[in-house]
Amino acid sequence: MTLYIARRLTSSLITLLGVAVILFVLFRLMPGDPTAQVISPALDQAAQARLKHAFGLDLPMWQQFFVYIKNMLSLQWGQSFTTGQPVADLLGHWLLNTMLLMSAGLVLAVVVGVLLGILMAARRGGALDHVATVAGLVFQAAPPFVIAIVLLIAFSYKLELLPSSGMVAAGTDDNGIWAMLTSADFLRHLILPTITISAVYVATPMLVMRDSMLEVLGSDFVEFARAKGLKPSRVLFGHAARNALLAVVTVSSLILGFAIGGQIVIETVFSWPGMGKAMVDAALQHDYPVAQAAFFLMAVVVIVMNLLTDLSYSFLDPRIRFGTT
């Protein structure tokens, strides 16, 4: 187990280094001049030179690369070209907002998907099986912005039950993160984007769990559990579902990767102040420090979740052994 963890950590670090290099090169190959965002042509040459030096834009490309890697390792990503604020301060706020929304949506999608998958397998060919399969495929095929707009029209504009944008109502006092998370106003703003995310991604864990359950229900150990006289619910949830969860754990990391890409659309529709919109704005404005750090940070989230997914296998199935302890 220790050897396996070491190998996976090494692989993850190499992957992160590759992502960092690609981001550095990619943003500098984009058309446009980043200095135009921070240096006005009306300034005299001396003032322009001082600004270029302050942002490190006067250095040769190879020196900029080493400064960039140093900043990545020290989590000090410099200053934004457009606002002049420290990138770390901006990212901390945006990342928290994104993780709050993404976590709520994906947890709901996985929990509902797993439960539906179990019930669909237990009642194979029944009404629930057919209806849930069709509904899941429809939601999966529909673009996220379409689902978001339909929910907005229904619950915000027609029924006027839920707010349409933002995290809290305009003019709300900032009393700290905990006060915001426990407020009814924040929870009401969270409902629609959370439902949108879960609707988009619920089909994958649901169908995977259904197929995995059907395979497990025909296994010898399930038949043995039934022969022992165990209750059907205990056989279904305590024996079959635990082993079937391995397949869902495998696809969960893939869902996370797709969710990060789709988060940009959902945050834009609901005006949610997170990483998605910030990443797009920074890329369009050639704000290299913000764009590079934002994309890198989201890559870290995906890679860490993949690592945790791999490690969780040994806890879900004791037959699996990785390396030596």
Q: What number of CA atoms fall less than 13 Å from residue 164's CA on the CB side?
A: 12
CB 113 within 8 A of CB 209: yes
Q: Return d(Cα 174, Cα 225) in angstroms, integer.
A: 55
pLDDT digits (tens, 9 = 90+) for 165-178: 888 777 676 666 77
Domains of the chain by range and CATH?
A: 87-316 (1.10.3720.10)
Buried-exposed string 10-42: b where 16+ CB fall within 10 A, e elsewhere: eebeebbeebbeebbeebeeeeeebbebbbeee
State the CB neighbour count (10 A cutoff) for residue 303.
19
Q: How much is the pLDDT for 112?
A: 92
Q: How much is the pLDDT for 185?
A: 83
23: closest CA among 316, 308, 298, 304? 298
147: closest CA among 211, 194, 79? 194
Q: How much is the pLDDT for 30?
A: 66
Question: Phi and psi of 165, rounded to 5°?
Answer: -155, 165
CB 245 within 8 A of CB 260: no
- Map tokens 């976590």 to a residue: 103
Q: How much is the pLDDT for 45?
A: 65
- Map tokens 């606002």 to a residue: 83
Q: Which residues of the chain, if any, have pLDDT below 50?
A: 322-325
CB 236 within 8 A of CB 172: no
State the CB neighbour count (10 A cutoff) for residue 280.
15
Question: pTM, whole model, 2 decimals?
Answer: 0.71
pLDDT digits (tens, 9 = 90+) for 215-272: 877 777 777 777 777 677 777 777 677 777 777 877 776 777 777 767 778 888 888 8
CB 241 within 8 A of CB 212: no
Q: Which residues contact 20 (CB under 8 A, 6 or more apart)?
A: 68, 69, 72, 296
CB 310 within 8 A of CB 8: yes
Query: In angstroms, how far is CA 200 from the centroid of its own chain?
Result: 13
